[in-house]
Structure 1
């Protein structure tokens, strides 16, 4: 799987697992909602600074956003 798809899928997985909307999650990250939407739809490359902001908002180690998730979303 492409790294952008792995990253975007993981962002969506962790965000929905947290039970927050894209808008709320974007606030938590200090980013714009459309930016989060673009990431989750695999339409945007992302800077290292923003990767760290997202990992911090989720509360996980950054590298976990780059590991293909085999768990199914419910």
Structure 2
């Protein structure tokens, strides 16, 4: 029986961030402006190449109106 691969933290973060952003109808530019971060950073998080700081994640979560932990929930809900 094959072992099921667990999504990485970066993948979970990327999926949750994108989902929450799109639920609000925001572009990456919109989220970046609300969170006071660069759009390139939002993009890098969504494609799993960034390693954002806690401060950045806190800004993004606040901009999205969610608790920081919501960005890292495996279920995403």
The answer to whether the superposition gives a TM-score over 0.5 is: yes
State the distance in 2 between where 1:12 and 1:32 align: 15
Q: How does 1:1-74 map to 2 (within 5 A)?
A: 1-69=7-75
**What stretches of structure 1 of length at least 5 have no aligned partner?**
none
State the distance in 2 between where 1:7 and 1:59 align: 16
Give the TM-score normalised by structure 1: 0.90
Over 3 Å counting, the alpha-carbon distance change for 1:57 and 1:70 in structure 2 is closer
RMSD, aligned α-carbons: 1.2
SS class of match (1:43)? coil
Deviation at 1:44, TM superposition (A): 0.5
C-alpha contact (below 8 Å) 2:14/2:45 kept by paired residues:
yes
Deviation at 1:70, TM superposition (A): 5.7
**What stretches of structure 2 of length at least 5 have no aligned partner?**
1-6
- Point out 4+ residue stretches in structure 1 off by more than 6 angstroms: none
Deviation at 1:50, TM superposition (A): 0.3
Choose 1 or 2 for highest CA Rg. Answer: 2
